């Protein structure tokens, strides 16, 4: 059995849990439970996002975004008001780098803190909006 150590950062009354080394799916579940009180909705959201991006299902990915959504397109900050605008600019937002980060991310290696769950090196962030019942992508960084 491997030993795992977690660093707990408490600042401004907020808790962040970061794995110090590789962890198992059960340990990721425990990390999400510690931060959000639940893990299954986050796991399901992550898996759905991976499948939607892999299938290039732009409408499905657009439905997973929290609007209004701020994105950088061609070096400019843009505010997208709805899914139709996201789909229109999908290839400029969900770049090959972002797609690779999503495709290569494993569930146990996600990072979670009070701000949400991060994929890759912060290429994608998702979190519960209005609690854990509605999880959405809150940021995509190329």
Q: Write out the chain's pLDDT in tens, 142 residues.
A: 333 333 344 334 444 444 445 789 999 999 999 999 999 999 999 999 999 999 999 999 999 999 999 999 988 999 999 999 999 999 999 999 999 999 999 999 999 999 999 999 999 999 998 777 799 999 999 8
Nearest-5° Cα angle at 112, 7 to 122: 110
Contact 49, 102 (CB under 8 A): yes
- Is residue 135 domain-resident? yes
pTM here? 0.83
CB atoms within 10 A of CB 36: 19
* Helices and strands in the chain: count of H runs, count of E runs: 6, 8
53 domain-assigned: yes
Residue 6 bridge partners (DSSP): 19
1 belongs to a structural domain: no
List, in sequence order, every residue forming a beta bridge with 135; answer none if it has no partner. Answer: 128
Q: Is residue 134 part of a domain?
A: yes
Domain ranges, residue 125: 6-140
Question: Number of structural domains, the chain?
Answer: 1
What's the first-to-final CA gap in the chain, in angstroms? 37
Rounded CA-CA distance 112/80 in Å is: 25
Work out the number of other CB atoms within 10 angstroms of the CB of residue 19: 18
Domain annotation covers residue 88: yes
């Amino acid at each position: 059995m491997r030993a795992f150590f977690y660093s707990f950062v408490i600042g401004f009354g907020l808790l962040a849990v970061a794995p110090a080394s590789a962890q198992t799916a059960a340990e990721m579940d425990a990390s999400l439970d510690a931060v959000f009180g639940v893990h299954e909705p986050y796991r399901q959201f992550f898996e759905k996002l991976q499948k939607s991006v892999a299938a290039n299902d732009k409408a499905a990915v657009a439905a997973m975004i929290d609007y209004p959504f701020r994105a950088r397109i061609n070096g400019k900050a843009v505010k997208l008001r709805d899914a139709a605008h996201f789909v229109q600019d999908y290839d400029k937002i969900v770049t090959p780098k972002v797609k690779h980060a999503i495709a290569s991310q494993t569930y146990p290696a996600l990072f979670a803190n009070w701000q949400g769950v991060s994929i890759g090196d912060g290429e994608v962030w998702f979190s519960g909006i209005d609690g854990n019942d509605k999880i959405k992508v809150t940021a995509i960084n190329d």
